[in-house]
């Protein structure tokens, strides 16, 4: 394990089980699952078995599982499917979606869709506000489960409830898509209870390989924009990444087994971290506190270093051997985007500009966190002293 790694929300190291599953599958199932010879038929049977395994781990039917290249692709499928509609209607995005979703706003607007933004004051969307945005021509609603910058957990089941009531009243179907990337393996998820139509997951966020993901989709009416060999029931054409899928399942199995214990440990660590933070001068918690409302992931903590731009602080911490993030690390020009996200939540531009993200994983220890806090204190004092001069 890399010491001083506090960027688990960006990506995670592959676990031993995933590495082993990858190697074993790559060596055993060499065929293309679409080929009609023995190697292909064996690979197809293995893939079927794996799909059943993923479905069990997610608590959903196997027919709802589509394997993709990651969450960016899983998010894109239900969004781009809207382009097949004859008449573009309304699409609602929460204001705190990851770029994998929010970057489609412009394209959809250009294609004539009526894009509405559901605000997330203090990091949370309001189901009643969502209900007020629903119209008879609303086609799609996208709200993430755990925000990747501040860790807020959105009220997805309540959002779904408002949508289903509206559907009953109007007889119109509205697709609810949920980016649940930062939730899977970290906090318990019940997709059936959440009542979403589709959800996106990514293996590298739970110690699986990069470049593999899942689209959960329970509807029959999504038509992919990508065309090709018809794999994955036409939703995601392209030769399946058999070894990657097996590795993802091994990681998912591992992470689900460890979830209660790891969550309890992360919650203790987070409280400890918050307590240490409260005694640091010029440093403040931006994420909601663990004890404020119970709707925050203990694994993601955004903090601001008063008066110090986050990219400078991240760089200084890098020089001290720490891997932390100046926002969401999964897009270029990250800084600007997380600033915009934070100001949209109601934080001042100066807080947004000085916010860094610390994210934990199962390997994070109390000692490591204590050292991190000491280093944050030392470096922030030094920099703040320079700024004051």
How far apart are alpha carbons 168 and 172 in whole angstroms? 8
Strand pairing class (124-125; 120-121) = antiparallel
Size of the site for ligand PLP (CB under 6 A): 13
Whether residue 137 contacts residue 89, with contact meaning beta carbons closer than 8 Å, is answered with yes
DSSP state of 153: B
Give me the catalytic one of 15, 178, 330, 373. 330
How far apart are alpha carbons 269 and 266 in whole angstroms? 5
Q: Please report where in the chains the tokens 């945005």 appear, as a residue.
A: 133
DSSP state of 13: P
Rule CB under 6 A: is residue 181 a binding residue for ligand PLP? yes
Rule CB under 6 A: is residue 70 a binding residue for ligand PLP? yes
DSSP state of 146: B
Nearer to ligand PLP, 182 or 207 (CB): 182
Is 330 part of the annotated catalytic residue set?
yes
Of 175, 125, 129, 116, give the one whose Cα is nearest residue 146.
Answer: 125
How far apart are alpha carbons 293 and 300 in whole angstroms? 15
Rule CB under 6 A: is residue 244 a binding residue for ligand PLP? no
For the bound state, the minimum distance from the C-beta of residue 107 to ligand PLP, rounded and expressed in Å, comes to 17
How far apart are alpha carbons 105 and 342 in whole angstroms? 18
Rule CB under 6 A: is residue 148 a binding residue for ligand PLP? yes
Task: Single out the residue of 90, 98, 186, 270 in contact with ligand PLP (rule: CB under 6 A).
Answer: 98
Q: Segment contacting ligand PLP (CB under 6 A): 37-45, 65-73, 152-160, 184-192?
A: 65-73
Rule CB under 6 A: is residue 179 a binding residue for ligand PLP? yes
What string of DSSP letters covers 252-316?
A: HHHHHHHHHHHHHHHHHHHHHHHHHHHTSTTEEE-SPPTTTSS-B-TTEEEEEETTS-HHHHHHH
Rule CB under 6 A: is residue 100 a binding residue for ligand PLP? yes
Rule CB under 6 A: is residue 71 a binding residue for ligand PLP? yes
Q: Segment contacting ligand PLP (CB under 6 A): 68-76, 222-230, 267-275, 319-327?
A: 68-76
x-or-dash pattern for ligand PLP, window 279-308, by CB under 6 A? ------------------------------
x-or-dash pattern for ligand PLP, window 195-214, by CB under 6 A? -------x----------x-
**Which residues are catalytic, by number?**
330
Q: By CB under 6 A, name the binding residues for ligand PLP.
A: 70-72, 98, 100, 144, 148, 179, 181-182, 202, 213, 330
């Amino acid at each position: 394990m890399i010491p001083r790694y506090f960027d688990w929300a960006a990506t995670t190291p592959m676990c031993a089980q995933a590495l082993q599953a990858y190697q074993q599958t790559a060596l055993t199932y060499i065929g293309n699952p679409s080929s009609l010879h023995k190697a292909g038929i064996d690979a197809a049977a293995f893939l079927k078995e794996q799909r059943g395994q993923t479905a069990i781990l997610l608590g959903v039917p196997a027919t709802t599982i589509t394997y993709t290249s990651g969450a960016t692709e899983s998010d894109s499928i239900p969004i781009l499917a809207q382009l097949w509609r004859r008449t573009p209607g309304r699409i609602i995005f929460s204001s705190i979606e990851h770029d994998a979703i929010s970057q489609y706003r412009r394209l959809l607007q250009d294609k004539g869709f009526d894009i509405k933004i559901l605000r997330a004051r203090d990091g949370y969307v309001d189901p009643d506000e969502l209900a007020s945005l629903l119209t008879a021509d609303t086609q799609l609603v996208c709200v993430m489960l755990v925000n990747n910058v501040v860790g807020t957990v959105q009220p997805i089941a309540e959002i779904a409830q408002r949508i289903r009531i509206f559907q009953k009243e109007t007889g119109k179907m509205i697709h609810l898509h949920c980016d649940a990337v930062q939730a899977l393996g970290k906090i318990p998820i019940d997709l059936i209870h959440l009542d979403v139509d589709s959800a996106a997951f990514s293996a590298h966020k739970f110690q699986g390989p990069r470049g593999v993901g899942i689209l959960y989709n329970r509807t029959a009416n999504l038509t992919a924009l990508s065309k090709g060999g018809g794999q994955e029931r036409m939703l995601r054409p392209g030769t399946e990444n058999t070894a990657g899928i097996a590795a993802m399942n091994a990681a998912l199995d591992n992470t689900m087994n460890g979830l209660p214990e790891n969550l309890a440990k992360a919650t203790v660590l987070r409280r400890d971290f918050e307590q240490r933070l409260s005694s640091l001068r010029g440093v403040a918690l931006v994420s909601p506190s663990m004890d404020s409302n119970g709707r925050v992931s203990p694994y993601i903590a955004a903090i601001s270093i008063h008066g110090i731009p986050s990219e400078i602080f991240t760089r200084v911490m890098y020089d001290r051997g720490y891997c932390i993030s100046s926002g969401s690390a999964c897009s270029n020009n990250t800084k600007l985007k997380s600033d915009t996200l934070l100001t949209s939540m109601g934080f001042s531009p100066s807080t947004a500009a000085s916010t860094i993200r610390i994210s934990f994983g199962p390997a994070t220890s109390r000692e490591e966190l204590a050292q991190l806090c000491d280093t944050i204190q030392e470096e922030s004092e030094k920099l703040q002293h320079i700024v004051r001069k």
